[in-house]
Amino acid sequence: MRPFDYLRAQDTAAAIAEAGKPETKFLAGGITLLDLMKLNVERPARVVDITRLSGLDTIEVSADVIRIGALAKMSKVADHAGVREAAPVLSESLWRAASAQLRNMASIGGNLMQRTRCTYFRDPGAYSNCNKRNPGSGCAAIEGINRNHAVLGTSDACIAIYPGDFAVSLVAFDADVLVRGTVARRIPIDEFYLLPGQTPHLEHPLSPGEMIVGIEIPRSAALKRSHYLKVRDRASYEFAAASAAVGIEMEADGRTIRDVRIAVGGVATKPWRLRAVEASLKGKTLDESTLRAAAAAAVEGAKSSGHNAFKIALVPKVVARALMTVGDIS
């Protein structure tokens, strides 16, 4: 690990000012940052501890919106009664994401900023050719063992998968990321994660010194009737082979779909919204054949790199199963 300076910020303004300096990283739960520092993937010269900043760990559920502070712990959000009642998908995606110990330490802001679990990215000693870590060096995963890599949103520069769960549910329900720097701004969550293209080292549209201070999720009938399904190689403490965050709002007849939200994880370079599948289901009758037919389009444009071909067959099944669960179809 590279030696670094440690600073503890006393307030948000001081934290932002310090983080605007070169080679500086924020430290909250430290679940991702410290891990990558030990691997010599992250090599900051300065670390700014923001864990004791006041006012950034609140959870508020109003009639119109859910507001979650960036320093709120994953476990607190997952267990919050108002969140569980208004947005089951948020709670489910958090408690399925990691062990209890990690959920008790990890912050919501840090969770949004977690980096890929790509083996080649995380092993600079063995693999120098990683465009996400070393721009222009190539992508070792494309010709390597890539079972856990992306089939959607890839490029010839990077096929690293986005590993998280919570952000998938946020993308499905149009959350905003609240950011503070020299000015305050609001970034739609689907724009917060960038496609790799030819610049996979650029993962977010944040400028130096900007800090996530919270997220907002608009409440809706589909959010209240929502579900997060995570399919993985083992039952717990594992990243998704494929996942789906879904929600449904029905017409008054109880049979016709008024609104539907779908995003998938474990299969793309960013949390992946299935807007075309959503559009194809609106106004349709809620039944198994309709859901399965629509879900078949979930992998439109998908590209296998070899070992990960199974994901293309798996995703439509996961989407259909998640929709059937939230739609009470056995």
Question: 174 near 102, Cβ under 8 Å?
Answer: no
| Confidence tier at 100 by pLDDT (50, 70, 90) | confident
Is residue 274 in some structural domain? yes
* Residue pLDDT, tens place only, 133-189: 999 999 999 999 999 999 999 999 999 999 999 999 999 999 999 999 999 999 999
How far is residue 10 from each of residues 50, 53, 54, 56, 321, measured CA to CA in Å?
A: 8, 6, 9, 13, 47
To the nearest 10 degrees (0 to 180), the angle between helices 288-295 and 310-326 is: 150
* DSSP 8-class letter at 81: H
Residues sharing a CB contact under 8 Å with residue 193, sequence separation 6 or more, in sequence order:
162, 167, 171, 203, 204, 270, 271
Query: Sheet holding 211-218: strands in order across?
Result: 59-61, 65-69, 211-218, 176-180, 184-188
Is residue 276 in some structural domain? yes
Is residue 31 in some structural domain? yes
Is residue 142 in some structural domain? no
* Residue pLDDT, tens place only, 105-137: 999 999 999 999 999 999 999 999 999 999 999
Question: 297 near 277, Cβ under 8 Å?
Answer: yes
The pTM of this model reads: 0.96
Is residue 54 in some structural domain? no
Longest dimension (CA), the chain: 64
Is residue 281 in some structural domain? yes
Number of independent structural domains in the chain = 2
* Mean pLDDT for the chain overall: 96
Is residue 311 in some structural domain? yes
Is residue 120 in some structural domain? no
| Confidence tier at 310 by pLDDT (50, 70, 90) | very high
- At 35, which CATH number? 3.30.43.10
Q: Which of 46, 41, 49 is nearest to 1 (CA)?
A: 41
Among the three residues 33, 49, 65, which one is the final residue of a domain in this structure?
49
- Which domain covers residue 17, as residue numbers? 5-49
* Residue pLDDT, tens place only, 193-248: 999 999 999 999 999 889 999 999 999 999 999 999 999 998 777 899 999 999 99
- At 262, which CATH number? 3.30.390.50
- Find where tokens 């089939």 sit: 151
